[in-house]
Amino acid sequence: FVLSLDDEEFQAILKDAGNKLVVVDFTATWCGPCQRIAPAFAADSSNANVIFLKVDVDDAQDVSSHCGIRSMPTFQFYKNNQKVHEFSGADAAKLKAKVKKP
């Protein structure tokens, strides 16, 4: 599912996650690579120890702007309300590796 949220709601989710890893997929409906990696993101989301969010850059422009998103897909990884990693591109192997060990 894709969340349509404002920056305040996004920050609240990061804060409430505590020491759980939060993986954020910044995506767009018109982005071909985003659609190609969506099944891998969905498969990884079965990990109960990780919170997965999809943010549509068109619907949540304030969140995308605050997070400095310049290309899609971009994946950001947060822990304890701090960004711990980021990468851009539809690289399913890199996504899986970072979910296992951020």
Active site residues: 31, 34
Other Cβ atoms closer than 10 A to 97: 11
Strands in 21-27's sheet, in edge-to-edge order, are 50-56, 21-27, 74-79, 82-88
d(CA 71, CA 84): 19
Q: Hey, what are 15's tokens?
A: 């804060």
Residue 41, CB-side half-sphere exposure with 13 Å CA sphere: 26
